[in-house]
Structure 1
Amino acid sequence: MKFKALLAKPFASLVANRIKKEMHRAVEDQDAIWQDLVKVGKKTEFGQDHKFGAIQSYNDFKQAVPVRDYEQLKPYINKVKEGKHNVLWKGQPIYFAKTSGTTSGIKYIPISKESISNHIDTARNALLCYMNETGNTSFADGKLIFLSGSPELERIGNIPTGRLSGIVNHHVPKYLRSNQLPSYTTNCIEDWETKLGKIVDETINQDMTLISGIPPWMQMYFDELIERSGKKVGELFKNLSVLAHGGVNFEPYKAKLFDAVGRPIHTVETFPASEGFMAFQDSQEHEGLLLNTNSGIFFEFIPAEEIFNENPTRLSLRDVKVGVNYALVVNTNAGLWAYNIGDTVKFVSTDPYRIVVTGRTKHFISAFGEHVIGEEVEHSLMTAAAEENVHITEFTVAPRVQVDGELPYHEWFVEFEEMPADMHAFALKVDQNLRKKNIYYNDLLTGSILQPLKIRPLKKNGFIDYMRSIGKLGGQNKVPRLSNDRKIADELSKFVAGN
């Protein structure tokens, strides 16, 4: 065992044991964080505007601070960008994480000196929990790749600003710098396809032991490696033992990624966001991600069907229930207050508090009252794919209203690794799975309001070509699983197989 792997063992044990203790005092930690946030918030412009001085309880807080999205928080963000201090949090942010919004354009999410550890330490803790549980520490001595955005930062209001993954890159511990790939120069390349080629150049002959990134871009990296070498990734990198992933649901990409590796491999899932590192996989044996309850974030949960109500039900951790779909709302030590991050989650356990990410609050289909969510379409497609031994590269779904007198339907754009033997039968199987998952969808078909879904197979690399055509290839950009309109679907129609 080499030096870093040897040192990692006791450190992993220490951190994992601390996390296990925190699991059982999650509610108490959340209460303490809430009190600390309100105490600091009293001295900010936001706190004064919302009368934090009069807040004595969580109920008082809910009355004083309405749930917000970025557009509603933007006037305060603009003041921070103008150089003002003590607006949302004490002082000024040390960074802005720059992220794209579907309705708000570019968003600037503050990161404070108090919140930066949440982003850095949680990623580390996920790997340390993995090490402690499995005993696998040897990957710490190999080469580690983080497929991320450019670490180059600009200044907005004199505050360093960039993609979250690029910001985090500046905080990789010194003891891992010698292990880290790609090089800083390559990481700064903005064009994804050029960058990918350089990453392959730098890594193809290295001893890669851990690969991290969002699944679709990990797959592109694997495809390029296989094309260059003629070997499976697991054969090329004989000591590769861990894939760390986050950003999108892993399940639709799992079969193809594992096939590209060519042998069994462990995975570690994380739930990072510009607003905070929400949760991480702490165990290979238990379902779900451990909610990050002691890291400067006070969580609130709104039943997903109420998220757009004027006065939705808001719950703290102590009142959540297993199996309910909640919109996730955060209050952070970077100055986000009752902020709707746009993700929905379900608890699979409350002892400890473990979640699965079920979708996005704005990514659903309810053109006919069905309110189909991401978790349901992913389950329906991937269950059918597993039964038929079909690999899916990527997919998205949109409603198709009445055309030429026929009933409306859900139109699925799917890129297959190989086509099903009988596409019609496969589509019916997906449709039946969705009917079982969503009672409203089933009722609409039973009542002849909708007809069964239709699948439009995309040509090879159809989604890559689509993302390239809109200038969003690479980085942390992802195709939404669901849309309630036809904007994406109409563009994807250009990439249907046979066109």
Structure 2
Amino acid sequence: MKIKSFLAKPFASIVHKNIKKGMLTAVADQQAIFKNLIKVGKSTQFGRDHKLEEVSGYEEFRQAVPVRDYEAFASYVNMIKEGKHNVLWKGVPIYFAKTSGTTSGTKYIPITKDSIGNHINSARNALLCYMAETGNHHFADGKMIFLSGSPELERVGGIPTGRLSGIVNHHVPRYLRKNQLPDYETNCLEDWETKLNKVVDETLGQNMTLISGIPPWVQMYFDEIIKRTGKPVGEVFPDFSVMVYGGVNFEPYKAKLLQSIGRKIDGIETFPASEGFFAFQDTQTEPGLLLNTNSGIFFEFIPEDEISKENPQRISLEDVQPGVNYALIINSNAGLWGYDIGDMVKFVSTDPYRLVVTGRTRHFISAFGEHVIGEEVEHSLMKAAREENIHITEFTVAPYVNEGEGKSYHEWFIEFDTFPENMQEFSEKVDVNLREKNVYYDDLIAGNILQTLKITPVRKNGFIDYMKSIGKLGGQNKVPRLSNDRNIANSLAPWTEKN
């Protein structure tokens, strides 16, 4: 046993025990965090604007602080950029996490001295829980790759600014630096294809034991490894035993990733974002991700059927129910208040509080009143794919509104790794699956208002070429599963099989 794995073993045991204790105090921990947020927040500009000094309980807080997205926060962020202190949280942020917005362009999410530990410790805890449960601590002695954004930071309003993964890169403990790949210079490369080739150059011949990243970009890395060596990834890296992933639902990518590896390995799923590290997989034996209930974030939840209302119902953790889709709202020691992060979650357990991410609040199709969400399309497609034993590389769905003769429908753009023998039969299976998952969609089909879905195959690497064309290849970028318009669908046209 080498020194790093030897030291990690008792540390993992201690952290794992503390996390299990925290499962029993989740609601109390949330209440304590809420009180501390109000205590600090009332002295800020935001606190004065919203009269937080008059807030003594959650009901008063809901009345004082409305739910908002980044656009509604932008004026406060601009104050910070102008050099003002105590705007959203005490002092000034130590970083801005730079991320893409839907309507606001670039977003600048504050990370404070108090909130940085949420990002760093949560990732660490996910690995330590895995160690403690499985006994696999040997990966700590090998090389680990984290496919991330550039660690080079610019300054915005005097504050170091960059991609979250690049910021976190600066906080990798010194004792793990020798284990980390790629090197700093390679990580700084902005062009994804150039970076990918350099990553492969550096990792071939190394004792890779852990690989981490967003699934579609990990798959690109695997593809290049196989292309160069002619061998499955698990044979190239015989000690590779753990894959850490997050950012998108793993299920659509699972079959092809495992096929590329060539053998079974363990996985650790995480739920990080620029706004916070919300949950992580704490066990290999139970479904769902453990909510981070004691890490500086007070969570709120809006039931799916309340989301579109002007004053939606908001509940705290103690009132959530399993099986219900909720919009996730956060209040944090980064200075985010009533902040809608845009993700939908569903609890699979409330003892402890474990959840799954079911989609994006802004990524849905309701062009005809069906309100189809990401969880439903992913389930429908992957169920059919498993039955047909085919692999899907990537996909997205958009409405097609027929303004002439004929009925409207959902158009599915799918890049197949292996094609179904009968595309029409496969399309019908996916449609039946979606009708079973969404009663509104079923009603529209049964009522002869919509025709059944149509599949438009996308050429090999078509989604990669599309992402490249819009300057979003690699890093933390991913293709939206659903759109309520034809913008992505129209942009994909050059890479579809019908062209």
TM-score tier (shorter): over 0.9
For 1:89 and 1:241, the matched residues in 2 are separated by: 41
For 1:365 and 1:136, the matched residues in 2 are separated by: 43
Secondary structure, counterpart of 1:335 in structure 2: coil
How far 1:498 sits from its partner (Å)?
A: 4.5
Maintained 8 Å contact 2:23/2:353: yes
Maintained 8 Å contact 1:299/1:331: yes
Aligned counterpart, 1:382: 382
Output aligned runs, 1:332-351, within 5 Å: 332-351=332-351
Aligned counterpart, 2:197: 197
How far 1:456 sits from its partner (Å)?
A: 0.4
Maintained 8 Å contact 1:182/1:199: yes
Q: For 1:142, give the aligned amino acid.
A: G
How far 1:354 sits from its partner (Å)?
A: 0.3
The runs of 4+ residues in structure 1 deviating greater than 6 Å are: none
Aligned counterpart, 1:271: 271
Aligned counterpart, 1:97: 97
For 1:394 and 1:403, the matched residues in 2 are separated by: 29
Aligned counterpart, 1:451: 451
Maintained 8 Å contact 1:255/1:391: yes
Aligned counterpart, 1:39: 39
| Residue 109 (structure 2) pairs with residue 116 (structure 1) | no
Q: For 2:142, give the aligned amino acid.
A: G
For 2:12 and 2:277, the matched residues in 1 are separated by: 19
Output aligned runs, 1:469-480, within 5 Å: 469-480=469-480
Aligned counterpart, 1:423: 423
How far 1:318 sits from its partner (Å)?
A: 0.5
For 1:17 and 1:268, the matched residues in 2 are separated by: 18
Query: In the comparison of the two structures, how many residue pairs are matched?
Result: 499
Aligned counterpart, 2:405: 405
How far 1:308 sits from its partner (Å)?
A: 2.8
Output aligned runs, 1:316-327, within 5 Å: 316-327=316-327
Secondary structure, counterpart of 1:238 in structure 2: coil
Secondary structure, counterpart of 1:196 in structure 2: helix
For 1:449 and 1:464, the matched residues in 2 are separated by: 34
Output aligned runs, 1:141-160, within 5 Å: 141-160=141-160
TM-score between the two structures when normalised by the length of structure 1: 0.99
Secondary structure, counterpart of 2:88 in structure 1: coil
Q: Deviations over 1:300-327 (max 9, x none)?
A: 0001232231110000000000000000
| Residue 305 (structure 2) pairs with residue 305 (structure 1) | yes
Aligned counterpart, 1:460: 460
Maintained 8 Å contact 1:270/1:289: yes
For 1:346 and 1:102, the matched residues in 2 are separated by: 23
Aligned counterpart, 1:59: 59
Output aligned runs, 1:255-294, within 5 Å: 255-294=255-294
Secondary structure, counterpart of 2:53 in structure 1: helix
Q: Deviations over 1:30-79 (max 9, x none)?
A: 00000000000011010011011110110000000000100001100100
Maintained 8 Å contact 2:372/2:441: yes
Output aligned runs, 1:70-85, within 5 Å: 70-85=70-85
Secondary structure, counterpart of 1:4 in structure 2: helix
Maintained 8 Å contact 1:44/1:89: yes
Q: For 2:358, give the aligned amino acid.
A: T
* Between 402-411 and 447-456, the greater mean CA deviation after superposition: 402-411
| RMSD, aligned α-carbons | 0.6
Secondary structure, counterpart of 1:197 in structure 2: helix
Secondary structure, counterpart of 1:385 in structure 2: helix
Aligned counterpart, 1:356: 356
Q: Deviations over 1:208-263 (max 9, x none)?
A: 00000000000000000000111100000000000000000000000000000000
Maintained 8 Å contact 2:81/2:157: yes
Aligned counterpart, 2:228: 228
Aligned counterpart, 2:295: 295
Aligned counterpart, 1:315: 315
For 1:480 and 1:161, the matched residues in 2 are separated by: 25
Aligned counterpart, 1:135: 135
Aligned counterpart, 1:439: 439
How far 1:418 sits from its partner (Å)?
A: 1.3
For 2:104 and 2:342, the matched residues in 1 are separated by: 12
Maintained 8 Å contact 1:232/1:261: yes
Gaps of 5+ in 2: none
Secondary structure, counterpart of 1:302 in structure 2: strand
How far 1:404 sits from its partner (Å)?
A: 4.0
Q: For 1:433, give the aligned amino acid.
A: N
How far 1:403 sits from its partner (Å)?
A: 4.9
Maintained 8 Å contact 2:456/2:498: no
Secondary structure, counterpart of 2:226 in structure 1: helix
Maintained 8 Å contact 1:182/1:203: yes
TM-score between the two structures when normalised by the length of structure 2: 0.99
Gaps of 5+ in 1: none
Secondary structure, counterpart of 1:358 in structure 2: strand
For 2:404 and 2:228, the matched residues in 1 are separated by: 48
Q: For 1:105, give the aligned amino acid.
A: G
For 1:95 and 1:309, the matched residues in 2 are separated by: 34
Q: Deviations over 1:313-351 (max 9, x none)?
A: 000000000000000000000100000000000000000
Maintained 8 Å contact 1:393/1:417: yes
Q: Deviations over 1:403-440 (max 9, x none)?
A: 54111000000000011000000000000000000000
For 1:161 and 1:198, the matched residues in 2 are separated by: 25
Secondary structure, counterpart of 1:367 in structure 2: coil
For 2:404 and 2:131, the matched residues in 1 are separated by: 59
For 1:175 and 1:405, the matched residues in 2 are separated by: 67
For 1:304 and 1:138, the matched residues in 2 are separated by: 43
